Amino acid sequence: MAEATWEKPQSTAQPTGAGGNERLKFLIGGILILAAVGFLIINGTLSGARYYITVDELVGNPAYVGQTVRVAGAVDGATINFDSQNLVITFETANVPLDYDNLATALHEALLDTNGKRLSVRVEGQPMPDLLQHEAQAIMTGTMGEDGIFHATELLLKCPTRFEEAQPGQAIVEPGA
């Protein structure tokens, strides 16, 4: 009967040990799978790893020239230039620390500091992102060229004023008082 093969009564279902041969097969199969995935992860990590650094660490550091890195900076709105004919975006960013209490304040201060290091960025082949504006945080992946310009292939932008707690400001204070 077919029934016996798909559901045995509980009482007769004594755990029977798999033959040593089968067990070995399971073991070898398992080890092979783990080894293959381990190899994939290590390989992928080595080739996909990007140091995530700041503008200060990147600018003027020959160690990073030609290497693919990820860098975070504060966008200076006055320097944004978009050549829409050729889809070339250029702008400058100032140093923002990777850890901060409040992103909006950190970006604001980064751009007030006029003596700090600046990183010139060039992005090609992308439309102008809606979020690229003054005091946005740019997280860029790309390589530092010999020319001192950072050639970004991926550009993520964050505008903290839109996302974090904004305040009504002093404007509402006077008439109500």
Tell me which residues in 120-159 interact with other proteins (CB under 8 A). 125, 127-128, 130-131, 133, 139, 141, 154, 156-159
Which residues, including other chains, have CB under 8 Å from residue 135's CB and lie 6 or more apart? Answer: 74, 75, 77, 104, 107, 108, 111, 159, 161
Size of the residue set binding other proteins (CB under 8 A):
76
Q: Is 76 exposed, middle or buried (0-12, 13-18, 19+ CB in 10 A)?
A: middle
- Residue 5 or 60: the one with the smaller Cβ distance to other proteins is 5
Binding segment for other proteins (CB under 8 A), chosen from 24-32, 58-66, 73-81, 143-151, is 24-32
Other beta carbons less than 10 A from residue 95's beta carbon: 22
Structure-token pair, residue 82: 């978009």
What residues does 156 pair with on adjacent strands? Answer: 139
Residues 164 and 102: their CA atoms lie apart, in Å, by 9
Which one of 98, 145, 147, 148 is in contact with other proteins (CB under 8 A)? 98
Residues 39-78 that bind other proteins (CB under 8 A): 40-41, 43-45, 47-53, 70, 72
**Contact flag: residue 88 with other proteins (CB under 8 A):** no
Does residue 117 touch other proteins according to CB under 8 A?
Answer: no
Binding range to other proteins, per CB under 8 A, among 37-45, 59-67, 73-81, 144-152:
37-45
